[in-house]
C-alpha cells in the first residue's frame, strides 16, 4: 500500500497539524527513512496512533534506536524514550472529539509514546555496536558549519 501524495505533501507542515513525518534509520540497512503518521501532542512529547500495529518496521526501528525525529508543524522535534502503549494509556492525551475521530478513521490497538529531548538533557545515540552519550554542547553546534552543509534543527 502506497501513501497518497497529498498526505506526503501535507504531513509535517505548519498548516496541517494532524500529520507529521517520522525520520528514522533502518535497523538492518542503516538507511534514513521517513513515514507519515497521525500525531497527538502530550505534555512532554507526542503520542502516535499505530493503525497497522506495533510490529511495523518503522516502529521497530524507532524502538531499536531509542528515538527518532518528528517533523511536525514545520519544525523538527528530537524524540526519545519510545514506548508502545494501549488504548487506556493513550486515551487521556486525546479530547473527546479527537478520540472519536481517531477511533473511527485510524482504528488501532497500540500507540507509540515518545518524549521530547530537552536542550539540557544528554542525548543517547544507539548504533549497532555501542551506545554513545553526548552532551548537548557536543551534539549541537550553534555556529554555522564551515562546509556549508545544513545542520539539523530542533
**Contact (Cβ atoms closer than 8 angstroms) between residue 85 and residue 77:** no
Q: C-alpha grid cell for residue 90?
A: 493513550
Q: C-alpha grid cell for residue 109?
A: 490497538
Question: Does the pTM of the predicted model rise above 0.85?
Answer: no
Output the pLDDT for position 152: 41
Contacts of 2 (CB under 8 A, 6+ apart): none
Protein fold of 5-139: Pnp Oxidase; Chain A (2.30.110)
| Residue 138, pLDDT above cutoff 50 | no
98-to-11, 56, 72, 106, 107 alpha-carbon distances in Å: 18, 24, 17, 11, 12
Residue spans of the domains in the chain: they are 5-139
pLDDT in tens, 67-87: 999 998 888 999 999 999 999
Amino acid at each position: 500500500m502506497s501513501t497518497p501524495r497529498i498526505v506526503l505533501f501535507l504531513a509535517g507542515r505548519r498548516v496541517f497539524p494532524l500529520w507529521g513525518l517520522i525520520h528514522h534509520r533502518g535497523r538492518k540497512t542503516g538507511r534514513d527513512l521517513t513515514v507519515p503518521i497521525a500525531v497527538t501532542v502530550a505534555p512532554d512529547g507526542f503520542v502516535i496512533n499505530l493503525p497497522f500495529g506495533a510490529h511495523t518496521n518503522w516502529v521497530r526501528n524507532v524502538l531499536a534506536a531509542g528515538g527518532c525525529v518528528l517533523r511536525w508543524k514545520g519544525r523538527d522535534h528530537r524524540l526519545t524514550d519510545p514506548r508502545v502503549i494501549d488504548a487506556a494509556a493513550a486515551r487521556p492525551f486525546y479530547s473527546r472529539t479527537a478520540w472519536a475521530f481517531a477511533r473511527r478513521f485510524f482504528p488501532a490497538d497500540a500507540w507509540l509514546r515518545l518524549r521530547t529531548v530537552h536542550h539540557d538533557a544528554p542525548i543517547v545515540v544507539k548504533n549497532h555496536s555501542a551506545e554513545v552519550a553526548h552532551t548537548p554542547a557536543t551534539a549541537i553546534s550553534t555556529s554555522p558549519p564551515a562546509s556549508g552543509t545544513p545542520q539539523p534543527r530542533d
